[in-house]
Amino acid sequence: MHRAHKLAHAAGPQAERPKAGAPRAEVIHWWTSGGESAAVKTIADAYRAAGGVWVDTAVAGNEQARAVAVNRIVGGNPPAAAQFNASMQFLDLVEQGMLNQVDDIAATERWDSTLPAPIRDVIKVKGHYYAVPLNVHMPTWIWYSRAAFKQAGIAREPATMDELFAALDKLKAAGLIPLAHGGQSWQENIVFMAVLANVGGKDLYLSVLRERDPRAIGSEPFKRVLLAFKRLKSYVDPGSPGRNWNDATALLVSGKAGVQIMGDWVKGELNAAKLTAGKEYGCITGFGPRAPFLIQGDAFIFPKSANADTVKAQKLLAGVMVAPATVAAFNRVKGSLPVRADLDASALDACAQAALVVMKDRTRQVGNGEVYLTPDQNGALVDVLTAYWNTAMPVEKAQKNIAAALKG
């Protein structure tokens, strides 16, 4: 879903001293920020504790990491596992018969009934499961610095989009950065989805992204969404272009900025900075009791391999990933929600607790945009949004371009 750094770099396999006969699993992932690295370490440690050898191939940037994984798989040199988002990102690999099914784990874990539909419906293809989900990410949280709010004289948490704009105005007047934003196209897409969900509501959200209805895209309500989205641009600072998401979060940590609209991986950075939810920072899932709760997550695919040792490593790794202790430890550090609904959530922070309450209302669950769009459609949408964000494109032109982008 997100990119830890603007430029790609492959860290390369880093294996510890081999153990005789131990299952060796090379894992490609894009978790390279401080909080993310701490989270993936919980999985690596659990795999080592189970007797395996973890070989870490970290590639900065999710698109770059997926490209490395796909090239390795197609080229006949696949890793044991690779990270993807729970979306259509690996559908081509499924259709080409290059991935192992994980139906046995799905049956044991009762995924048909326990997984949120937006995740289940993309990792299950034609009746078979092809990925192990680790978590539930909500990409459109509204995070805020309590110190910045206090400095700007903001007495209470915004409860509507209009109140959020009023808070941003006060932050600007106080000489702070109102909206900490990384000027990268994927981050602009997240801000757009947050506005579409909170200003447009669930029905419009699904009409635009799932149904791709030209009438909805050309409507006045969608025009209002785009205008509110573009209004947020006036609250970012000149240093925004090209900024990484975790660097934007650092502005919140230091109290230099007031608000960030970003996924719950932000919490991993806040946790790493020793900040406490509800004390130094606040969090908003959405405005009002009917605001859509966007769902996506991280999942691992297991490429087919003729190597018996690799198959053994894959089975061990998949089992470790669904173990309750691993799921709990990983999500506690990562900031995301456990994909298992049967885990004890009492140790989770205040933001996670609030999100779990919202997520239990399945009528509010919708997929992240990438759940409904092919990678090509999503890329075309993102291109339009970032052009609209960064130029003087008229809103009517943006509506027409979005309709064209989602037509495919």
**pLDDT confidence band for 134 (50 / 70 / 90):** very high
Q: Give the list of residues 6+ apart from residue 55 with CB closer than 8 angstroms, or none.
A: 13, 14, 15, 24, 25, 26, 27, 80
Closest C-alpha to 16, from 51, 65, 42:
51
Give the distance from CA 112 to its chain's centroid. 22
The residue that leads in pLDDT, 345 or 294, is 294
The residue that leads in pLDDT, 118 or 9, is 118
**pLDDT confidence band for 345 (50 / 70 / 90):** confident
Strand partners, 365: 293
Tell me the whole-structure pTM to 2 decimals: 0.84
The answer on pLDDT for 346 being more than 50 is yes
Q: Give the list of residues 6+ apart from residue 300 with CB closer than 8 angstroms, or none.
A: 27, 81, 82, 83, 84, 131, 132, 134, 317, 318, 321
For residue 277, what are its two tokens? 């939810």
The pLDDT tens digits of the residues spanning 254-311 come to: 999 999 999 998 988 998 899 999 999 999 999 999 999 999 899 999 999 989 999 9
The answer on pLDDT for 4 being more than 50 is no
What percentage of residues in the chain have a pLDDT greater than 70? 94
For range 82-91, the mean pLDDT:
92
- For the chain, give the mean pLDDT: 92
For range 18-45, the mean pLDDT:
90
Identify the pLDDT of residue 20. Answer: 63
Say if CB 365 and CB 116 are below 8 A apart. yes
Identify the pLDDT of residue 339. Answer: 86
The pLDDT tens digits of the residues spanning 228-252 come to: 999 999 999 999 999 999 999 999 9
CB-based burial of residue 107 (10 Å sphere; 0-12 exposed, 13-18 middle, 19+ buried)? exposed
The answer on pLDDT for 11 being more than 50 is no
The answer on pLDDT for 9 being more than 60 is no
Lowest mean pLDDT across 59-73, 209-223, 325-339, 375-389 = 325-339
Closest C-alpha to 100, from 404, 337, 306:
306
Give the Å distances, CA to CA, from 117 to 87, 100, 319: 12, 21, 22
Q: How far apart are CA 37 and CA 103, in angstroms?
A: 29
Closest C-alpha to 80, from 24, 138, 158:
24
The pLDDT tens digits of the residues spanning 392-405 come to: 999 999 999 999 99
Q: HEC profile for 129-162?
A: ECCEECEEECCCEEEEEHHHHHHHCCCCCCCCHH
The answer on pLDDT for 335 being more than 60 is yes
Identify the pLDDT of residue 165. Answer: 98
Which stretches does DSSP call E strand in 164-286?
Answer: 177-179, 257-262, 281-284
For range 372-389, the mean pLDDT:
95
Please tell me whether residue 395 adopts helix, strand or coil conformation: helix
Identify the pLDDT of residue 341. Answer: 67
Identify the pLDDT of residue 271. Answer: 86
Q: How far apart are CA 127 and CA 265, in angstroms?
A: 31
Identify the pLDDT of residue 17. Answer: 53
CA 212-218-222 angle, to 5 degrees, is: 85
For range 191-208, the mean pLDDT:
98
